[in-house]
Amino acid sequence: MRIAWIVDLADPQLLAEVESLRAQLAVVGYPDAGRPTSADGLRTADAVVVWSDNPLNADLSSALADPGVRTIFAGPTLPAGDPDGVLAEASGLLVGASTPIHDVRIRAGAQASGSLDLSGHSHNDLGHVGEHDHLTDRVLLVDKVADDVDVLLEARIGLAAHPVLTWRPATASAAWTLGTTPSAVGSRQALRTMLYALRVLSGALPLQPVGVGLLGYGAIGHEHSRAVRAVPGLDLVAVCDTSETRLAAARAAAPDVATTTAATELLERPDVQLIVVSTPPNTHATWAMRAIEAGKHVVVEKPFAIHTSEADKVLAAAKDAGLLAAVYQNRRYDADYLALRRLVRSGALGEVFAIETFVGGYGHPCNMWHSDEEVSGGAFYDWGSHVLDQILDLVPTEIDYVSAANHKRRWFDVTNADHSRVTVRFVDGLEAEFVHSDLAAALKPRWYVLGTQGALVGRWRVEKVVSRNDIGTLSEDVLAPADSPPLLEFTGADGSVTQLATPPAEPYEFHRELADRIQLGVPMTVTGEQSRRVLAVMEAARLSAADDGRPVTLR
């Protein structure tokens, strides 16, 4: 579907974001047909997107009102680009003033005319908005909606609901009345909504929910179950585990889910399009390959695999089959990391040249396979999968080498190291260190980041849950430091100290991106190639530690 664009915006930042959105749409399957300057030019494209805060000339307005030209009126176009009311007639919307910029809550609309064939589907299956979605923007107040207009998405202002995405089949016109601020246009929600609108224009609706099968149902399997059931566009179909007790827990959480102890049965289900692999790490690559061979998209728990050669085979097979292979790097969305990344990218720290990270405490490691080096990959592969992913997202520079060290001093009944350190040296001289320890009686900060204009320290919190026990006396459950987000302090070069806010990310953002990727083709924030790079660092650390800390380059 080739898209022609009419863009005429005075705000250079808004213009830049619209052009970026235009490029993203081209990447995900909507190639650019250029900028038509005449009515004839409009008719050569499959659809036209108009984004203007200036009046359009009469010839273009007249052509855009032609039902033979499928059109999306976006941003300020309807009030600003339509002095004669031609576009208002085409869209079926009589618009008035707009609100100030605020946090807009977008909800599924009423679908006024019922002209779309959405039998058996709700708008939540289509727009991925769930109960509501957020966007910081103005809302264009709509005074009247024609009877034959489908209201697909809406926002409430006071007691009135105002349409923000509509479709009028009689004139083949859609209107997205948001998109008036750079932050709104630059958001993931804007890309998602434009893709939704383009599907309306092309008749590619309804979007079928993605059937999900869970392979393995431990604690993380339950986390995936909860997320899949909460995210519009995903449908939990089946769970496989060798334990009947864990399958009973899966059914207790989701009574309608099918359960089986046979992985082959899960892989062969035609109503499952995505397999989530939550088995021990040394089996991740095997099950990922089997899922791809069965024609399924696949998400594996971290780490991706034990060896980069295994990850390479998975990624190559997925690419050849046109399928998704990704790793559940859920801590890319942690509140403290998002706040840190925002600070670094703002330039407030100046040029960052040293990063130190730490996770751990003093105590016996768990007795499950997590502490068995042969199964888990070793100490670098557990928390390292999370923290090294954060470091590599923060520092996209090419890596020079990796060095590492392990200590085995106390917990001899498990095979993982008791204390481990990884140092990543980047080609620009920046050094990043990650320490994981079960022998740290005193905790280092979670984050210690130095820049040429300041520093950031992430201090662990020690929290506890206080309650009564079964005989009525005090009971205290002390949380592990890693179970609470650290407190972040930014120290400026002048000695001033500012505590950073750590607003939580949207819930289940990884799974929302999964639905967007499989249904709409929107690229994910976390890619399989990025997780392969994390694995390469952990693999290099393992080799370095086995060779007395010798620097190792990535494979």
pLDDT digit string, tens, across residues 25-48: 999 889 988 887 777 777 788 899
What does the pLDDT look like over 108-138, one tens digit per residue? 887 644 555 443 334 444 445 556 778 899 9
Name residue 30's beta-bridge partners. Answer: none
Residue 372: the pLDDT is 83
Burial (0-12, 13-18, 19+ Cβ within 10 Å), 377: buried
DSSP 8-class letter at 323: -
Per-residue pLDDT of 281-296, as tens digits, reads 999 999 999 999 999 9
The model's pLDDT over 340-376, given as tens digits with 9 standing for 90+, comes to: 999 999 999 999 999 999 999 999 888 777 778 888 8
Residues 418-427 have pLDDT tens digits of 999 999 999 9
pTM recorded for the entire structure? 0.88
Residue of 145, 143, 141, 163 whose CA lies nearest to 154: 163
Lowest mean pLDDT among 41-45, 68-72, 113-117, 413-417: 113-117
Q: Which of 79, 297, 72 is nearest to 196 (CA)?
A: 72
- What was the pLDDT predicted at 111? 65
Where are the strands (E) in 70-118, listed by range?
71-74, 93-98, 102-108
What is residue 128's predicted lDDT score, i.e. its pLDDT? 53
Cβ-contact 264, 278 below 8 angstroms:
no
205 falls in which pLDDT band (50, 70, 90)? low
C-alpha distances out from residue 100 to 12, 141, 156, 181, 520, Å: 20, 11, 14, 11, 31
Contacts of 88 (CB under 8 A, 6+ apart): 78, 82, 94, 95
Residues 6+ away with beta carbon under 8 Å from 489: 456, 457, 458, 459, 497, 498, 499, 500
Q: DSSP of 60-93, one letter per residue? A: HHHHHTSTTS-EEEETTHHHHS-TTSHHHHHHTE
What is the pLDDT at residue 123? 40
User: What percent of the chain has a predicted confidence (pLDDT) above 90?
Assistant: 70
Q: Is 423 helix (H, G, I), strand (E, B) or coil?
A: strand
Instruction: Kindly report the average pLDDT of the chain as a whole number.
Output: 90
Query: CA-CA distance, 407 to 366, in Å (whole number)?
Result: 17
pLDDT at 120: 36
List of domains in the chain: 3-202 (3.40.50.880), 210-328 (3.40.50.720), 332-509+535-546 (3.30.360.10)
